[in-house]
C-alpha cells in the first residue's frame, strides 16, 4: 500500500503532490540577546511553495548567466520586516 502526501502553500493556497517538490518551512523567531534562546518568541511558522519563496525574495533561483549584473537583493532584515508587515505586524518606532 502506498502513501500520497498533498501539500498546501500557506501563502498562495496552491496544492501539490509530494512527488513535485517539498514545501519550504519559513520560521521567524525574535529573541533578546541577554536571554537564552529557549526564551525566543516565534512570530511566523508557515510552509510556502518554491514560487512564493522566490516571489518574496527568500531565495533566488540558480542561473547560468554569470555575465549579467546581479539583481538587487534586500538585506535579510528588510525581507523579514517586509514579511511581518504583510502579515499585519506593524514596524515599531525607532
Judged against a pLDDT cut of 60, whether residue 8 lies above it is answered with: yes
Rounded Cα–Cα distance for residues 21 and 12 (Å) = 16
Beta bridge partners of 8: 15
Is 6-86 a CATH 2.30.30 domain? no
Q: Determine the pLDDT at residue 38.
A: 66
Beta bridge partners of 44: 28
Range from 27-31, 32-36, 66-70, 76-80 that averages highest in pLDDT: 76-80
- In tens, the pLDDT along 56-74 reads 888 777 666 656 676 778 8
Amino acid at each position: 500500500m502506498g502513501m500520497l502526501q498533498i501539500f498546501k502553500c500557506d501563502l498562495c493556497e496552491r496544492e501539490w503532490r509530494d512527488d513535485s517538490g517539498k514545501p519550504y518551512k519559513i520560521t521567524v523567531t525574535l529573541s533578546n540577546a541577554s536571554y537564552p534562546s529557549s526564551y525566543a518568541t516565534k512570530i511566523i511558522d508557515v510552509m510556502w511553495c518554491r514560487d512564493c519563496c522566490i516571489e518574496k525574495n527568500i531565495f533566488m533561483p540558480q542561473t547560468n548567466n554569470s555575465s549579467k549584473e546581479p539583481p538587487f537583493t534586500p538585506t535579510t532584515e528588510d525581507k523579514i520586516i517586509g514579511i511581518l508587515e504583510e502579515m499585519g505586524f506593524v514596524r515599531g518606532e525607532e
